[in-house]
Amino acid sequence: MQIILFIIGLALSADGLYYGATTGLGVGEALVVGMGVTFILWSVLYDAARTNGFLKFLKRLFIFCMTVFVAYSCAVCVVGHMDNSTYDETYLIVPGAGLSGTGPSRVLEERLKKAAEYLNRNSAAMVIVSGGQGIGEEMAEGDAMRNYLKRCGIDEGRIIVEDDAESTYENFRYSSALVNGESAVFITNDFHVVRSEQMAKLNGVDAKHIGAPTPITLLPVSCAREMAAEIATIRYYI
């Protein structure tokens, strides 16, 4: 058991550190590294955590937190794949998700692949690519997303660039004026669908959704970041 706990901790720590080094150390990356370090400490203090009262309490607290995290992650990913698009919407909204140089990050690329599939299937739809230029990015996410879709064969005349948004809330806030009450659908990664739907409704966008897959190595970081963001979402309801 100690070896298993150590391996889990090492894997989580390496995952968080790797993506922190390549995309910037944010809340999600820090939480995953913290989980990993806690698993490693648990493996080292395994015997003590079975007898020492305080360590037993910390172990149970950690198990509870991990159970909540895993349950939340599974729930949002399952819901994220319950697509309800009718493929006849007037507008498709694609929120940004960070860049790698001047191209999309792996998470954003999955969204754009799904977007290209949708646009080929619904040839009448316009697409709104929403995302401003974040810290350390070489260009606005909206511009990079347009360039990617053009390389996929999507006519530039069907692409509307929204390059001011800096959050999921702003993605839908700025896109709502462009949609102007017409039928819409959004595409985002499975873990991000639930919160995106909340942000869409807060901004008066009644949109269907399609979930894009998330690379398995990115799931822990992405779900940890999403859980923290979901907690922070409370501020929009206050």
> What does the pLDDT average to over 23-44?
81
Could you tell me if residue 238 is inside a domain?
no
Q: Say if residue 116 is in the same domain as residue 170.
A: yes
Domain boundary among 51, 80, 109: 80
Domain boundary among 29, 47, 80: 80
Range of the domain at 122: 91-214
| Residue 109 reports pLDDT greater than 70 | yes
Specify the CATH number for the domain of residue 192.
3.40.50.620
| Residue 22 reports pLDDT greater than 80 | no
> What does the pLDDT average to over 179-204?
95
State the DSSP code for 213.
Answer: P
Q: What are the angstrom distances between the C-alpha of 200 and each of 49, 84, 142?
A: 45, 15, 18
Q: Say if residue 130 is in the same domain as residue 76.
A: no
For the question of whether the overall pTM of this predicted structure is more than 0.85, the answer is: yes
Could you tell me if residue 231 is inside a domain?
no
Could you tell me if residue 234 is inside a domain?
no
Strand residues in 19-117 grouped as ranges (E): 91-95, 99-100, 103-104
Q: What percent of the chain has pLDDT over 70?
A: 97
